[in-house]
Amino acid sequence: MSKHSLAPFIGYLVIFYFTWTTVWVYGVYPWAVRNVGSTTLLYAVINIVFRFLIWVLPVFWYLRHVDRVNATEYLRLRQHWGRGLAFGLVLSAVNFAAALVRTGPSTWRGPYVTWNSIVNTAILIGFFEEVPFRGFILQKLTERFGFWRSVVMSSVLFVTAHIPGWIRLGTLTAYNAVFVFVFGVIMALVFRYSKSLWGPIVAHSLNDFISGVLVHR
């Protein structure tokens, strides 16, 4: 990322965080929970739409109209996809085995199994969050600052994206911040060594599914 291209990237970050916080976290989300209910299919659809509009679509727009590159190639969605899937599945298998050792088998029932937890957490969350943070932000930072410093910066930004939601839900803790930071670092390493965004996409989705649904008893 050359010096003269830093301004639009910073502009993207400012718009992303402002929009996510004001439109979703303190706007649509509380309205949807209050009027639709967080366990309904309609809520899951609303969540999908706003996640796509705020997290994914601007990345594709930026790459197409600002950088003027092929977005799917830049994000590494076309290259080495088989290697990426293999990385993601192997890491997820290890993760699942570790979760079983820690907690034992869980019951497939209860408030953790909802339309939103299955559709967004199990299927789409990896795509929604890895496209901007590892596919776009990490790579843009790497162009200017190198890989390792960019891993740290992008992981801090990843934590920052979660803070408004944590504050809204009253779940902001040092543990959550450290966990998400370390998770961001791991996803960056998976992205680098799998050479495909599908590696962190699969690993991220299955991690959230395991931790958000399967390990609850």
What mean pLDDT comes out for the span 30-52? 94
- pLDDT above 70 covers a percentage of the chain that reads 93
Residue range 77-128, pLDDT digits in tens: 999 999 999 999 999 999 888 877 877 665 555 566 777 777 777 789 999 9
Residue 1 confidence (pLDDT): 55
Residue 10, exposed/middle/buried by CB under 10 A (0-12, 13-18, 19+)? exposed
Rounded to the nearest 5 degrees, what angle is found at the Cα of 193, between the Cα atoms of 178 and 149?
A: 50
Residue 104 confidence (pLDDT): 67
Residue 170 has what DSSP assignment? Answer: T
| Spatial separation of the C-alpha atoms in residues 149 and 128, rounded to whole Å | 23
Residue 39 has what DSSP assignment? Answer: T
Residue 86 confidence (pLDDT): 95
Residue 214 scores a pLDDT above 60: yes
Rounded to the nearest 5 degrees, what angle is found at the Cα of 29, between the Cα atoms of 28 and 31?
A: 65
Q: Where are the domains of the chain?
A: 3-214
Please report, as a single letter, which amino acid is at residue 100. L
Residue 154 confidence (pLDDT): 98
- DSSP symbols for 73-129: HHTTSSTTHHHHHHHHHHHHHHHHHHHHHHH----S-STT-SHHIIIIIIIIHHHHH
**Tokens describing residue 27:** 């706007």
